Amino acid sequence: MADIPLTAAPALGDVNLTFASCVLTERTDIALISVATPHAGYEALAAKIKDVWGLSMPGASASLNAGAMRAIPLAADQMMLAFTPDGGLSETSVQAELTDVAYTTMQTDAWAIIELSGAGATAALERICPLDLDPQTFPNGAAARTMMEHLGALIIRLEADRFLLMSARSSAQSFLHAVETSCRWTAP
């Protein structure tokens, strides 16, 4: 068998674009673990993530974070844990912590993640996202599954003018094109 080395490649080529009123950056430093709650296992999972990471279970429309870990709701009894791997956290260590209380799947390589920030970020998203992004309706920490253009996406408001946008890696270039085009057409 041939010895062919594999090299990790960012889904969007490590894109970093600055527009008149916003900045679009690929986030390649975030690891993702999908977590499904077993039948009648909510309390055990909630206790475990509270004990290990000081994290509460997310509600239906709000992500929660504690330290380096963020819990993002996906569906009933399902969430995504997002974190920056460092000396204390890795995909395998997070999965190992949850072995007895949840079903987990590594998702890092399945998603393209974009951070959109700046004064024009909300306006750019309003062109392609059907959600009401008014800060009173979609405050800091809010998270929702939605469509952007014709693509499934996950949106999380981190701060007033800062969002994480996630879509399937298989359509990463189309997703980037939709967000980038919207940024270009958004007035400063």
Q: Let me know whether 125 and 60 are in one domain.
A: no
What domain range includes position 37? 31-109
Which one of 71, 93, 109 terminates a domain? Answer: 109
- Would you give the distance in Å from CA 141 to the centre of its chain? 11
What's the pLDDT at 188? Answer: 59
Q: Return d(Cα 7, Cα 174) in angstroms, integer.
A: 23
Q: Let me know whether 128 and 161 are in one domain.
A: yes
User: Is residue 7 situated within a structural domain?
Assistant: no
Split into its structural domains, the chain has a count of: 2
User: Is residue 5 situated within a structural domain?
Assistant: no
Q: Let me know whether 171 and 151 are in one domain.
A: yes
What's the pLDDT at 159? Answer: 96
Q: Let me know whether 114 and 166 are in one domain.
A: yes
User: CATH no. for residue 164?
Assistant: 3.30.1360.120
User: Is residue 47 situated within a structural domain?
Assistant: yes
Q: Let me know whether 37 and 102 are in one domain.
A: yes
Q: Let me know whether 53 and 89 are in one domain.
A: yes
Strands 23-26 and 16-18: antiparallel
Which one of 75, 109, 143 terminates a domain? Answer: 109
Q: Let me know whether 57 and 126 are in one domain.
A: no
User: Is residue 127 situated within a structural domain?
Assistant: yes
User: Is residue 54 situated within a structural domain?
Assistant: yes
Distances (CA, A) of 38 to 72, 134, 158, 169: 17, 35, 29, 27
What's the pLDDT at 54? Answer: 95
Q: Let me know whether 131 and 99 are in one domain.
A: no
Q: Let me know whether 131 and 72 are in one domain.
A: no
> For the chain, what is the HEC assignment?
CCCCCCCCCCCCCCCEEECCCCEEEECCCCEEEEEECCCCCHHHHHHHHHHHHCCCCCCCCECEEECCEEEEEEECCEEEEEECCCCCCCHHHHHHHHCCCCEEEECHHHEEEEEEECCCHHHHHHHHCCCCCCCCCCCCCEEEEEEECCEEEEEEEEECCEEEEEEEHHHHHHHHHHHHHHHHHCCC
The alpha carbon dihedral of 144, 61, 117, 21 has a sign of: positive
Which residues of the chain carry a pLDDT beneath 70? Answer: 187-188
What's the pLDDT at 151? Answer: 96
Over residues 134-171, the pLDDT tens digits come to 999 999 999 999 999 999 999 999 999 999 999 999 99
What's the pLDDT at 86? Answer: 82
